[in-house]
Chain A
């Protein structure tokens, strides 16, 4: 799985609570991404990082924040979880040129917000 570890793998939380998902890579890749997967929507980009402390928004970034203090770790935080954020979250990594170092995904975190 291209040296990507997501934690936790499953989480159930209540509406209004903060949640942090972690992505750890051992490939020393520059780019890291957070996607969410929902039926009928495929995978949608939440946030991405192009270096330590360098992040930017994707297409569905509202309600999410990210941080990258080290090359190997990319954190996704839901400041106040809502039921609409129930989803499967995938972390992905890639090198400098995507066609030389394509996007590789972790195995996901299934988040349920009750």
Chain B
């Protein structure tokens, strides 16, 4: 099955700096890569996702890049703010449809702390 490795496990930055979280996946058939943010006491919330036919996607201060050849993808947060402090998870999946039900395999998570 799919295996997703996420690094680093903790990341501490100063407000205004950039933060980068990296993930690698094992199954070359995976074609959907979402990122989730989890705040204390809540469930993970989708913040951005990318499909395998796209190399980069950006949404305001957040961007995700995908390198299919190397089987890795990254989350970039620019101009970090204290409210960006949370746990971030990457995930990988084959698309739902036919006999595939779109099961997500998650990375281990990154605790991001943004210091004012």
Contacts and interface: CB of A to CB of B under 8 A. Distances in A.
Given A98-B93, A103-B46, A105-B45, A48 B103 contact: yes
A42 B89 contact: yes
Tell me which of B1, B42, B49, B104 has the highest count of chain A C-beta atoms within 10 A of its own C-beta.
B104
Contacts, number: 71
A104 interface: yes
B43 A107 contact: yes
Interface in B20-50: 32, 34, 36, 41-46, 49
A16 interface: no
A105 B101 contact: no
A33 B89 CA distance: 17
A102 B41 contact: no
A103 B104 contact: yes
Contacts of A33: 103
Contact of B44 (A50, A99, A105): A105
Nearest to A102: B46
A100 B62 CA distance: 20
A96 B43 contact: no
A42 B102 contact: no
A98 B34 CA distance: 10
A60 B34 CA distance: 21
Contacts of B42: 107-108
A45 B41 CA distance: 19
A97 B51 CA distance: 12
Interface of A: 1, 4, 31, 33, 35, 40-45, 48, 50, 56, 58-59, 90, 92, 94, 96-99, 102-108
Given A40-B9, A107-B43, 15 more contacts: A4-B43, A31-B96, A42-B106, A42-B107, A43-B44, A45-B104, A48-B101, A90-B44, A94-B102, A97-B96, A99-B32, A99-B51, A99-B95, A105-B43, A108-B42
Closest 8 CB pairs of A and B: A105-B43, A98-B102, A42-B106, A43-B106, A42-B108, A98-B96, A107-B43, A105-B44
